[in-house]
Structure 1
């Protein structure tokens, strides 16, 4: 049965840390599968999730996503093991290669051999979270031997936020789950098949790989208001560089226009530049009944968990209403 998760709004949504924790508590109370904390130039994702672990009891907590450039593999493993202990086994480690602007401008590192770095990071994280001796001799990292004192009682699932074909293949070979974002719904099923085939080719059980797409979602009694919110989120994400990804799916010049307009400060025009086809294929919005029906398409096409991305211009009340609606939809699934 497909479950529902939620991306916690943060500073990019003009939400305080205390309000972020309140959203996590609400998601826990409504029975959602998981909450995920993004990390760019705002609050520290792992530290925030440590606080979330202390104020929730059942909801799973995931980094969404931790860059393999911003922390060493050993520190990522230690962070995952710590979250696992603090949350009594609810931790999920979402990792990704990030992007050249973030890696080079935010962290002052060269965006070099990203997929090799990702693969080796996952392998080192698994050693680190298992405890005992860590030793790894790779092409990017030469680590150990050293002993880990912090162990987890359960393995921490590693999710990869893969976009490219090669990275999706790596997901099937090495990760426990896939965190795709902005994959058009008509293309989603074929990508799921590719990831699971990669797992099968690597001698793994493809059914054990968790597919968890991030999807912009808005629920409102007025479908036009809901659509406006997901349009805004798409415009902002295009400005953050996702226009280059979605350009591969034939949306014309709409992604690039939204990117340019939003970055120039004309956010209204950027929202209007988002095409109807982009809304239909990249987002889910409408009344609660509409959203329930649209989410069923992802479930049919192979999603195990659907992670809702709230609009970055949604009010606190609108976000609370979305969490409640997701809880009702999840219960009826």
Structure 2
């Protein structure tokens, strides 16, 4: 296997306490560290630290939203990381969700496809050192130029859950990022993206032999995500809409207890990687066999293991 990524920061460990485990990742067989940006750390700071703690790792945010920073600031932060990790930084951008953009940040979640396309086109030019003065469809830039463009402009990958964004990623980006899918779903995604571009996916991994423990944790996570419109639409496209419909209806009616109860075991087993560490590694490899380029493990503690112990136990090995 060529790549094996990890989501940082790890749950239950303060960001400043990550130095030792991040420095250890390359020797464990991890090739990548990918951050996220929801309601915890921002997407860039953990990568800045990791760039100094583990100079061998490829780094990227999966993802930073295209709405919550202005285009110029997004270019500046990408250029900074590209300078800290030359040739090892990949910029992951996407729409995020209406919850994060509109409800939490007070920014209208309008024309997500066009906003992502415009931001991608702007960043390509800005990170190449071009001075940009242009009216894009969703924003205008009047004379911005990076003070110091990166010597190696970073690749840009798009968060893409459905055909339109996957096709945009295939045409204009360097790859796509997805999540919340089963191994067989990778083939559906590849059908729109094509076989050549890099495809990354964040995989939620709970290393425990206690299936009920994993399913209990997984139900809470699935309910939190699959009632967000973009993820509902994604799973309808993947053919899981009917299986999730009772949960969606109970959640919309305000019955959280019932929403959790009606999520089928098969759906949890599809979307959460669980079992012994060896079984989890085997399941991750199923994703790769179905066309995933870069699995990015998001560790959900289970089985009595601390997060750091799970990182070591889930390392790819031979």
User: What interval of TM-score do these two structures reach, taking the shorter chain for normalisation?
Assistant: 0.7 to 0.9
Q: 1:100 to 1:222 in 2, by over 3 A?
A: closer
Q: Note if contact 1:239-1:260 (Cα within 8 Å) is conserved in structure 2.
A: no
Q: CA deviation at 1:226?
A: 4.6
Aligned equivalent of 1:281: 270
Equivalent of residue 235 in structure 2, options 240, 246, 250:
246
CA drift at 1:166: 1.0
1:324 and 2:305 correspond: no
- 1:110–1:236 Cα change, 3 Å: closer
Of 265, 283, 293, which residue of structure 2 is paired with 1:304? 293
Distance (Å, rounded) in 1 between the aligned partners of 2:302 and 2:36: 17
The partner residue of 2:56 within 55, 58, 71 is 58
The answer to whether the 8 A contact 2:207-2:303 is kept is no
- The alpha-carbon distance between structure 1 residues 246 and 324, as it changes in their structure 2 partners (threshold 3 A), is same
Asked if the contact 1:93–1:157 (Cα under 8 Å) also holds between the matched residues in 2, the reply is yes
Which residue of 1 is the match for residue 169 of structure 2?
A: 171
Give distance in 2, aligned partners of 1:131 and 1:142.
18
Partner residue in 2 for 1:45: 43
SS at match of 2:203: strand
Deviates more, 1:167-176 or 1:1-10: 1-10
Root mean square deviation, CA, Å: 3.0
- Greater helix share, structure number: 1
**Aligned residue for 2:76?**
78
Moved more, 18-27 or 110-119: 18-27
In structure 2, the gaps of 5 or more residues are none
2:22 to 5, 24, 29: 24
C-alpha displacement of 1:94: 0.9
Q: Distance in 2 between matches of 1:151 and 1:314?
A: 44
Cα 1:237–1:185 change in 2 (3 A) is same
Asked if the contact 1:236/1:262 (under 8 Å) is kept, the reply is: no
Structure 1 unaligned regions, length at least 5: 197-205
| In 1: Cα distance, 2:91 partner to 2:38 partner | 16
Aligned residues: 316
- 2:247 is matched with which residue: 241, 257, 261? 257
Partner residue of 2:149? Answer: 151
Q: 1:71 to 1:166 in 2, by over 3 A?
A: same
Identify the match of residue 294 of structure 1 among 283, 290, 293.
283
Aligned to 1:200: none
